[in-house]
Amino acid sequence: MDYFWVLVILFIVIFGWEFVLRKWLGVDKGSLAETPAKKINQWVSGIMIVLVLCIVPFMLLEEDSRFIWFLIVVFIASNLFQAFLEWKYLKSRRQYLVTLLHLPVTISILIFIAFWYF
């Protein structure tokens, strides 16, 4: 039960950090669905999901902790791609700054969880 509360606190920290970043930078939340990047984002997200679903069964068969590191790498790749699209298509909203500044904190928390559980 203690693990549950630690995870709840970590998720509150993640979402709280994003809220603080948005207020501090004065950035409104924008959506890529309103831009020509909608199709690109959908295609790349779909390809990444298919790749993850194809690789996950093989990763789960092994006894070591490479699975969590694989998920962290996928998370980094998807967030960097998201930041690129936000920079390219939502440059005036500066939302890419929130995504890029939010990434290290989230990755640190994921690495903390990886070392804590595995």
Mean pLDDT, the chain, rounded, equals 83
What's the structural domain count of the chain? 1
Domain assignment of residue 87, given as a range? 2-117
CA distances from 79 to 1, 23, 31, 74 (A): 30, 20, 14, 9
pLDDT digits (tens, 9 = 90+) for 83-101: 998 888 887 778 888 888 8
Question: Rounded mean pLDDT of 5-14?
Answer: 81
Q: What is the rounded CA–CA span in Å between residue 8 and residue 1?
A: 11
Question: Rounded mean pLDDT of 26-49?
Answer: 85
Amino acid at residue number 24: W
